[in-house]
Homo-oligomer: A and B are copies of this chain.
Amino acid sequence: MSSTRDIDALIEMMAKLPGLGPRSARRAVLHLIRKRALQLTPLADLMQTVAATARECVNCGNVGTADVCDICTSEKRANGEICVVEDVADLWAMERAGVFKGRYHVLGGTLSALDAIGPQELRIPRLIDRVSSEGITEVILALNATIDGQTTAHYIADRLEGQVRLTSLAQGVPIGGELDYLDDGTISAAMRARKAL
């Protein structure tokens, strides 16, 4: 390779990001080197800022810049409803759809016997706490329509049965589909037509 060690190392790090590969990393790095004053330096600065300030909300697991995130502290969001999602990307997908005005709970994954992920590895105990301490009346299980997602939904439903209204996203989530791949309209329709478990 003709490029020097730092440039090679930068391409290698970029290539490991989800959604990128060696070729797109090379293209991105060349583009950034060409625009190093206008794009590479500002991007590096912004990454430093985010690295120093971003953290996970201690209450819900969302990503933000405070110990408790904007959604948890907002007075404009409805109390009493929690929408449970697998990860922050799913929370963002729900927010883009704009149909839910309650609070969220990000599990940080799904139960998985194969990967030895039990309730304690996720934010399930914290969810159970929140349901009683925040006076929750409805828990919407917006988990992916995968086997692990649905196993996790049933586990949570069992734990919370009789305490709250339990619902799940209904129409429009295709078998094997993941929320973050769906268009906003599909998510909206599924949210509006949510059904009791």
Contacts and interface: CB of A to CB of B under 8 A. Distances in A.
A20 interface: yes
Given A2-B69, A3-B64, A44 B33 contact: no
Contacts of A88: 30
Contacts of A39: 13
Contact of A48 (B31, B44, B62, B71): B44
A51 to B, nearest CB: 4
Nearest to A70: B2
A28 interface: yes
Contacts of A49: 6
A97 B29 CA distance: 20
A50 to B, nearest CB: 5
A17 B32 contact: yes
B87 A53 contact: no
A76 interface: no
A60 B148 CA distance: 54
A142 interface: no
Interface in A38-75: 39-51, 53-54, 62-65, 69-71
Contacts of A4: 53-54, 64-65, 70
A137 interface: no
B63 A26 contact: no
Nearest to A9: B46
15 contacts: A1-B92, A2-B62, A2-B104, A3-B64, A4-B53, A4-B65, A6-B46, A6-B53, A7-B63, A10-B47, A17-B32, A26-B180, A30-B63, A40-B51, A44-B47
